[in-house]
A and B are shown apart, each in its own frame.
Chain A
Amino acid sequence: MAATNILRSRRTRRRAGWTAVLALLALILPYMLVNSPQFAVFGNTIPLSIDVLSYAVVAGLAVLSLVVLVGHGGQLSLTAGFFMGVGAYLTMILSNETALPFALCVVAAALVCGLLGIAVGLPALRIEGAYLALVTITLASVLPSLVRLPVISGHTGGSNGLSLKYTPSAPDFIGQVPTWLGHLPGIGPSYIGTYALGPAQAASVWIFYLVLAATLAVFWLVAGVVRGRTGRAVHAVRDHGIGAAASGVHVARLKVMVFGLSGLVAGVAGGLYALVFRIVAPETFGLTLAIYLLFGMILGGHRALGGAVAGGFAVAYLPVITGQIKHIPAVPDRWLVGPTASFLLGLLLILFPLVLPGGVAGLGRRLGFLRPLGTGRTDAPAASGGRATPPEPGTAQTPARTAEPDTAPTTSARANAMSPNRRETRS
């Protein structure tokens, strides 16, 4: 008992430490990136702008929507890009064409996306596994042609896309950079005295904090759902639908609810996307984004809520970085043309499951950094493939936890979880 208490306090301290580090980064990073410093490696200059940082947070939210649907709900789908696109378009249209405050537009768009999620979830009740993946890949590539439909292109701008008229006005304190920050790289002249940002830069920083606050709120909401009673029922449905139904869980209602929640979260991400980039174009929300988001989900570990943040950073930064690579040692420059970025990303997608099966969160867990967020302690080891389950408190205090059987052949249990009613008979 005493050992448990010591451990719990150690774990709490470690979490508090990480929270403090992240909060400090959130305070400093926007000011470091506000002047779009460039980062040079092997003769490539990669711009690091604050917009991409904000987008990383937004993309984390979109990845979270997949974590809820695929990781926890067990519904293998590619829907996040579609709902994100719908959220972005609806938010822009509402904000441009009505007098509603922007936050309300985001909420309204997200609610519509939640309802759409439910609408997608209803037929999905009867469609499972590979069928669902194939149907949703159609959904993922449909939005670019949908917004060009003549009936609605007056609102959506058709092929030209839309731009947001609303600009948030940053409060004064945002533009005041504390003088000690002036010594950090990227911020600008490091003289002692006051250093004030221009209005556009202050707005970018302010947008980052708005996005961050909204994202944290949604994460908190989702964590509440996933870790609570509903979350346990969702896991039961994922792991064994028939068993869950026999235990009195309303399977259909829960599955539809998970789709709705996933749509809602992706809708918020879309609204925030509109705020960050202020422009939406049809091609943004096509198949490629859907694939990136799925990659982000697996990168973060497909059930880890915290891993979604890492996944979001990958979704936002990888295209920026691979898009700017003009020189690779030992590779002729003439090979590095436009599609190279896409090629490198594809290669990464192929290599990633080979090299790092548990995702970044799995790596962190292997090294003992992260508590498996969201899986909670309610999962039986069999349900999470013996990989995502936190060690029992008694065993965790020994260094043996780093030797978790990470490559043990336990994937079949997880695979069953991915498609609960896998067909036993195939002709």
Chain B
Amino acid sequence: MDLFIARIFDGIATGALYASVALSLVLIYKATALINFAQGEMALCGAFTVYVLAVGHGVNLYVALLVAMALSAAGGAVLHRVLIQRFDPRDHLPIVLVTLGLLLALNALAAIVFGFEPRRIPSVFPRGNAVAFGSASLRWYTLGVLAVSVLTLVGLTLLLRRTRIGLSFRAVANTIDSAQLVGIRVNRVIGVSWALAAAIGTLAATLYVSDPLRQLDTGVMERVLIFAAAAAVLGGLDSLWGSLAGGLTLGLTESLVIGYVHWVPPELGMVVALLVLVLVLVWRPNGLFGAASAARV
């Protein structure tokens, strides 16, 4: 039973982080129906920025995190302005190629600048356990990560529901052409969603590698991106809260299957994720919480 509880806590911690990266994918998808495959590596660059500021220059960790998030937001907006905005958003292929190219280029850039050796980021949350259940214990890290994910979601929901920019975002997400007709600056709104997505990604990546059990290296985000993509699809690509549901589902499945099915080695979590994904999509093609599709004949 203790093992079971420990597995559940592990699954919640990783699941909440997958959910945060998934959230940044969903934000961009909602605005433009595009997938930003470079999201993971953009977040990697953000995490390296935190590392340089906090460990290299001795800046306070939380200040470093905020600065890195602001820089990522600016970077995301610039990437959108320079590379993405010039393409017709309805033409998927070139944009997929550009974001995949960004994935390779940013990852290689991080490797050129920082090399391949793993680094440690100091823990963002207090170390140690908040509550103990027998030999299983709930770490502050797990609680903190879950709280950050939920707070991000609440904040985003409020932003979308209660503010003017949120209203514009929802108009763009609904129909780009109509939004343009009522005078919304569509590209600016989409740029803001790229900036928000980049900042959330940086936050999630920093939290992910600040787990004392993990390290920051250039290969760490491919796996996170895959799981986050799966989580986003699972929750329905256009549902913010769906990404949390998808992330937690995948995190728990991964942790329980690896914990209890002994012939599945840890690195095979990805296959498990893929299977869950395919099963759910066959049952509900638009994910658990996605809007049903309709086609005009």
Q: Which of A's residues lie within 8 Å of B, judged by CB?
A: 70, 76, 123, 126-131, 133-135, 137-139, 141-142, 145-146, 148-151, 241-243, 246, 287-288, 291, 294-295, 298, 302, 335, 337-343, 345-354, 357, 409, 411-412, 414-416, 418-419, 421-427
Given contacts A343-B108, A343-B112, A349-B100, is CB(A412)–CB(B88) below 8 Å? Answer: yes
Seen from chain B, the residues whose Cβ lies within 8 Å of a Cβ on chain A are 29-30, 33-35, 37, 83, 86-88, 90-98, 100-109, 111-112, 173-175, 218, 222, 226, 229-230, 232-233, 237-238, 263, 265, 267-268, 270-271, 273-274, 277-278, 281-282, 285-287, 291, 293-297
Q: Are B87 and A353 in contact (CB under 8 A)?
A: yes
CA distance A128 to B93 in the complex (A): 14
Q: Does A343 lie within 8 Å of B105, measured CB to CB? A: yes
Instruction: Verify B100–A425 contact, CB threshold 8 A.
Output: no
Among B108, B281, B297, which residue has its beta carbon within 8 angstroms of that of A131?
Answer: B281
CB pair B100 A294 closer than 8 Å: yes
- A209 CA / B83 CA spacing, docked (Å): 42
24 example contacts (A-B, Cβ-Cβ < 8 A) are as follows A123-B281, A128-B293, A130-B35, A130-B237, A134-B230, A135-B274, A145-B268, A148-B265, A149-B268, A288-B104, A291-B103, A298-B93, A337-B112, A338-B111, A340-B108, A345-B105, A350-B97, A354-B83, A354-B86, A357-B94, A415-B88, A416-B90, A418-B92, A422-B33
Given contacts A130-B34, A340-B112, contact A142 B296 (CB under 8 A): no
Give the CA-CA distance A129 to B230 in the complex, in Å: 14
Q: Which among A138, A338, A349 has the highest number of chain B CB atoms within 10 Å? A: A138
Query: Beyond A350-B105, A357-B94, is A138–B273 a contact (Cβ under 8 Å)?
Result: yes
**Chain B residue at minimal CB-CB distance from A421:** B295
Instruction: Compute how far the CA of A425 lies from the CA of B33 in the bound complex, rounded to whole angstroms.
Output: 11
Contacting residues, chain B, for A146 (C-beta < 8 A): 268, 271
* Set of chain A residues within 8 Å of B230, measured between Cβ atoms: 134-135, 138
Given the interface contacts A145-B270, A345-B104, A353-B98, does A129 sit within 8 Å of B92 by beta carbon?
A: yes
CA distance A345 to B233 in the complex (A): 28
- Chain B residue with minimal CB distance to A291? B100
Q: How far is the CB of A282 from chain B (nearest CB, A)?
A: 10
Given known contacts A148-B265, A416-B90, A425-B291, is B226 in contact with A138 (CB within 8 Å)?
yes
Q: Which residues of A contact B95 (CB under 8 A)?
A: 353
State in angstroms the CA–CA spacing of A243 and B286 once bound together. 22
Residue on B nearest A243 in the bound complex, by CB: B297
Main secondary structure of the interface of B (DSSP, over half): helix
User: Quick one: which of A130, A139, A424 contacts B92, CB cutoff 8 A?
Assistant: A130
Decide: A295 and B97 in contact? CB cutoff 8 A: yes
Whether B97 contacts A342 by the Cβ 8 Å rule is: no
Pick the contact of A302 from B29, B93, B297 — CB < 8 Å?
Answer: B93
* With known contacts A139-B274, A287-B222, A421-B295, A349–B101 Cβ distance under 8 A: yes
Q: Which one of A135, A138, A347, A411 lies within 8 Å of B90 (CB-CB)?
A: A411
Given known A-B contacts A412-B90, A423-B295, A141 and B101 have beta carbons under 8 A apart: no
| Pairwise interchain contact A424-B101, C-beta atoms closer than 8 A | no
CB distance from B207 to the nearest CB of A (A): 23
Which single member of A298, A337, A340, A424 contacts B296 (CB below 8 Å)? A424
Minimal beta-carbon separation of A277 from chain B (angstroms): 22
- Decide if A423 touches B105 in the complex (CB within 8 Å): no
The answer to whether B274 and A421 touch across the interface, beta carbons within 8 angstroms, is no
A418 touches B33 (CB 8 A): no
Distance in angstroms from A352 CB to nearest chain B CB is: 7
Taking the closest CB of chain B, its distance from the CB of A127, in whole angstroms, is: 5
Q: How far is the CA of A165 from the CA of B249 in the complex (A)?
A: 45
CB closest chain-B residue, reference A286: B222
Question: With a CB–CB cut-off of 8 A, which chain A residues contact B100?
Answer: 291, 294-295, 349
Judge whether A339 and B97 touch: CB under 8 Å. Answer: no
The answer for the CA separation of A352 and B105 in the assembled complex, in Å, is 14
Known pairs A141-B226, A149-B265 / 12 extra A-B pairs, C-beta < 8 Å: A129-B92, A131-B285, A135-B233, A135-B274, A138-B226, A138-B274, A145-B265, A146-B271, A339-B107, A346-B103, A350-B101, A416-B90
- A357→B91 CA distance, assembly (Å): 11
- Residues of B near A351 (CB, < 8 A) are 101
Chain B residues positioned under 8 Å from A150 (CB to CB) = 263, 265
Q: How far is the CB of B79 from chain A (nearest CB, A)?
A: 10
By a CB distance below 8 angstroms, the chain A residues around B29 are: 130
CB distance B291 to A426 under 8 Å?
yes
Which residues of chain A are near B34, meaning CB under 8 Å? 130
B37: nearest residue on chain A (CB-CB)? A137
Cα distance A171–B245 when bound, in Å?
62
The distance from the CB of B272 to the nearest CB of chain A, in whole angstroms, is 10
- Contact across chains for B263 and A294 when beta carbons are under 8 A apart: no
Closest Cβ of chain B to A333, distance in Å, is: 13
- Whether A347 and B238, one on each chain, are in contact in the complex, defined by CB atoms closer than 8 angstroms, is no
Which A residue sits closest to B101, measured CB to CB? Answer: A349
Residues of A within 8 A of B108 (CB): 339-343, 346
